[in-house]
Copies of this chain bind each other. A is one copy, B any other.
């Protein structure tokens, strides 16, 4: 259950979170509900946009990374949530059918001064399509320490 505690998030450690394929119907349903800009919901508008094709909402892309992180790390970690992040980037558009590889890298880790038993870990989220980066984010995860379990 909790094989990953604060102490296991050592700076430089990289987690491979596996691959996910962008499902066209789900991508469109997400856009229609949360981000109905023409280039996210209409093929022709996508083709005429700077993306060149119908493109995923960046928030859908972020959500796909989140699921990979939840499955690959959080499901076996002492996570207690996240207060937020410092960066979110969509350097290239994501398209239906893309296979994306999710990774997570530990940037920094420190024990909480105000909350004993808790550590704050700065993490870098990445999604690649082949060699091309399509999503990156830097955020803070809060994890229980092993001695507090």
Chain A residues at the B interface, C-beta cutoff of 8 Å? 30, 33-37, 39, 49-51, 57-59, 62-64, 66-67, 70-71, 74-75, 79-91, 137, 139
| Total copies of the chain | 2
**16 CB-based A-B contacts, threshold 8 Å:** A33-B63, A34-B63, A34-B67, A36-B70, A36-B75, A58-B82, A58-B84, A59-B63, A62-B62, A83-B89, A83-B90, A84-B87, A84-B88, A84-B90, A85-B88, A87-B87
A67/B35 contact (C-beta < 8 A), A81-B49, A84-B89 known: yes
What secondary structure prevails in chain A residues at the interface with B?
mixed
A66/B57 contact (C-beta < 8 A), A49-B80, A85-B87, A88-B84 known: yes
